[in-house]
Homo-oligomer: A and B are copies of this chain.
């Protein structure tokens, strides 16, 4: 098993991993196709300039797992009062035939070490249902994030 840093040439691999993990989570094929088309455009310059980084694991020169990392510009916060960055972990994917061997756990260890090397003191991720217990076992704790889809006809009510 080999590990190497993500590079420019991994564009399609990362797109495939992101699509596969959301497919595993039950997302619709039409949505996945649209997402990947836009994600590819988003990812290409960021893989090139290193804003998106991470690792690929290979077995006999075949990539079998990957993990992505970013640094988010973020307002200093009680969890990182001196820093204006958060680490972000995404697109953690292991090919089905290679699961249950601890590879995701190993990739998370690499990711945390890489973030630490870059001076990051606080990181976040979004867990799929399947991933949550793995991350919890590695010391990641649930946050209070909430989300909403914004309707384009939200009323701009005035306060009177």
In the complex, A157 has a CB within 8 A of chain B: yes
Q: B159, A147: Cβ atoms under 8 Å?
A: no
Secondary structure type dominating chain A contacts: mixed
In the complex, A54 has a CB within 8 A of chain B: no
Question: How far is A15 from B123 in the complex, measured between Cα atoms in Å?
Answer: 23
In the complex, A145 has a CB within 8 A of chain B: yes
Within 8 A of B (CB), among A129-151: 129, 132, 135-136, 138-151
In the complex, A100 has a CB within 8 A of chain B: no
Question: How far is A31 from B81 in the complex, measured between Cα atoms in Å?
Answer: 7
Copies of this chain per assembly: 2
Bitwise, A66-103 to B at CB < 8 A (1) or not (0) is 00000011011111011110010010000000000001
Q: How many residues of A contact B (CB 8 A)?
A: 77
Q: B125, A160: Cβ atoms under 8 Å?
A: no
Q: Give the residue of B34, B82, B116, B145 whose beta carbon is less than 8 angstroms from that of A126.
A: B145
Decide yes or no: A132 and B109 within 8 Å by CB, A1-B160, A39-B75 being known contacts: no
